[in-house]
Structure 1
Amino acid sequence: MSNRKWSLGLVVVVLVFGYVLIRFFASTTMVDDLIHRMEPGKAAAPPAKHIVLIAQELDNPFWREMKQGADQAAERLGMKIDYTGPIRIDPSEQSRLLEKAIAAKPDGILVQGLGSADYDRLIAKAIDQGIPVLTVDADEPGSRRLAYVGTDNRKAGERMGELVVGSAQGGGRIGVIIGSEFADNQRQRLEGFRAYVSGIPGYQVVDVRSSNISRIGAAKKAEAMLRQHPEIGTIVGFSALDAGGILEGMKAAGREDVRVYGFDDLEATRKGIAAGDIEASIVQEPREIGAQAIRLLDRWFRGEKLPPQHFIATSVLVREHGQTGGTAP
């Protein structure tokens, strides 16, 4: 009986010792963790800032490139990009997505300007809630957005005028295809172009039509334009899909003698320039637009005041010795 009591007592002692040992190691671990947190330079990293980028069209190559530039800058600066946008171009859907983004309370929002009073109110709503809003690609200058990042679109239009006047022979009648009559960036490009060519004797814009940022739309409008105005010798496209569509419209209208100028450097545009079917294209830098927008947000988060406009230089894509190549900004 005494042996049994002794064995039971020994078990109890071992259990108590084990419990005390476990508590000792647990306390040691907690103290080490506390000391680790208190050490200089060992503070936990702040959570990544959440930025919403709302595209004009979700799968548009221009906006996809902008997202890539934004992602690369965000990774270096401790931010996370949430990319969204309409499947097809739809300003009302862009407004709905902006309202939804504001409700999610992100740390910042990047949007395309729409030139709408309702859109201005949404931007003001975000600012009132402490959410910085930057416009990209197209500005919303009358709104309370912090800054615009993108092409100086009026100057891009003027530069297009320089290209047309510099290469056309003996003046000419010009047709223009714009992406949308409602988009501020398209209007500014057209205004800059008109201002330049109107000052040159012998040049005249005789027709302006909208492609609705669609290659098929550009083809149909170019064909109709050439049938109605056979005197047109030059057609300029001011959105990325226009130049390729204009070539199709020329073919449908049975015209091969029209000079074509485009915007941006999609594969169809590059091929057209390489083949000599397109004279030149003004090229934007969507990756740099996305990257610079994120860098500006980072500056704002660090308490810096932002410039109201941050223009990204363009270049010109032309045919050089049988291949496409860019010229200086």
Structure 2
Amino acid sequence: MSVTLRTWLLLVVILCLFIAIAVYKDAAPAAPAPPSAPPSSGQKNVQDPAYTFGIIYPMAHSFYEVITQYAEKTAAANSVQLLVKAPEEINIEQQIQMMETMIKMRVDGIAIDPIDPDALIPAINKAADAGIPVVCFETDAPASRRSAYIGPDHYKSGAYMGEIVNKLMKGKGMVLVESGMADVSSQKNRLTGMLDYLSRHTEIQVLEVGYNEGSSDKALKDMERMIDDHPHFDTLITLDILSSTASILLWKAKGLKRNVVSIGMMPNVKEALINGQMTSVISQDEQVWGDDIIGQLLHTVRGESAPSHINTGVREVTKDSLE
């Protein structure tokens, strides 16, 4: 056999060996994958919120936006998902329906500023029966099974407002008053506290009290009419956020130079103070309500002790104090 033929045969043998090895590797069973961890039943992913809380306002208004901003920050820091709802305008039936929806969703806690505390009692108690704690803020529903109330004593807030008016007017003069809903306990108590203070400690005459009943348009019309009927008044007092906002529009339109004493800090109120369209504002430290709402609900759902009333108090804000 020639050398050339032997060389070719050797090459053929080597090639066959390589083919055999490759076929064996492809046919060999793959090494088993390491066992995966069994799925955990009932455990939440890291991304899932620890709790879901609902906040229900009496209406959509800039006054409540600041509360929401603070609530969202505190919620995010505590792995809480927030559901924020409010009727476009004051509407008791819609607020009750929002409560019912959150109960069906099985949220972990609800905070509500009830338009009519008595009308909301069945819904609040239904949530409590379902194991969902309810916190009231700004307006209380003490006859319900709510777990806590966040906000001031409204009678004392009204008396404090009377004290501010007395200081401003030096105990004499004439005032016009625009309030909110005549039958809502928080607004009724605020008005009573102010009127009691003025009658007991001053010679200030209350010319007229109007009620906007939850309507911004009615608040504006009430104040326009009262000003026309009593042109010699010295001070306008507004006791709810709708009246306060309407008074700013009225003062801008009429260019009036009378005193305005209002309640409730909002961005437009702050601007009105700086521009001289308001004289004094009674703040309820609304900006901390968001923190208190989330904190109170967290304490409750965790089974921790918590106060049944967080009194946020009131303080006067003026242009000078802002500066």
Partner of residue 121, structure 2: 120
Query: What does residue range 23-172 of structure 1 map to in structure 2 within 5 Å?
Result: 23=32, 26-27=33-34, 30=36, 33=37, 45=46, 47-58=49-60, 60-172=61-173
Q: Is the 8 A contact 2:53 2:109 kept in 1?
A: yes
Partner of residue 308, structure 1: 308
Q: TM-score, normalised by structure 2?
A: 0.83
Work out the percentage of aligned pairs sharing the same amino acid: 25
Note closer, same or farther for the CA distance 1:257–1:14 as it changes in structure 2 (3 Å cut). closer
- Return 5+ residue gaps in structure 1 as ranges: 38-42
The amino acid of 1:159's aligned partner reads: Y
Moved more, 79-88 or 182-191: 182-191
Shift of residue 149 of structure 1? 1.1
1:221-251 Cα shifts (integer Å, max 9, x gaps): 1121123334532211112342352355467
Moved more, 156-165 or 116-125: 116-125
Note closer, same or farther for the CA distance 1:143–1:292 as it changes in structure 2 (3 Å cut). same
The amino acid of 1:14's aligned partner reads: K
Shift of residue 255 of structure 1? 8.6
- Return 5+ residue gaps in structure 2 as ranges: 1-13
Partner of residue 291, structure 2: 291
Aligned equivalents of 1:315, 1:13: Cα separation in 2: 87
Aligned equivalents of 1:184, 1:249: Cα separation in 2: 27
Note closer, same or farther for the CA distance 1:319–1:142 as it changes in structure 2 (3 Å cut). same
SS in 2 for 1:270: helix
Shift of residue 47 of structure 1? 4.4
Q: Is the 8 A contact 1:69 1:286 kept in 2?
A: no
Q: Is the 8 A contact 1:221 1:249 kept in 2?
A: no
Partner of residue 220, structure 1: 221
Q: Is the 8 A contact 2:180 2:213 kept in 1?
A: yes
SS in 2 for 1:260: strand
SS in 1 for 2:139: coil
Aligned equivalents of 1:154, 1:111: Cα separation in 2: 20
Partner of residue 25, structure 2: 14
Q: Do residues 325 (structure 1) and 315 (structure 2) align? A: no
Note closer, same or farther for the CA distance 1:292–1:201 as it changes in structure 2 (3 Å cut). closer
SS in 2 for 1:177: strand
Q: TM-score, normalised by structure 1?
A: 0.81
Partner of residue 281, structure 2: 281
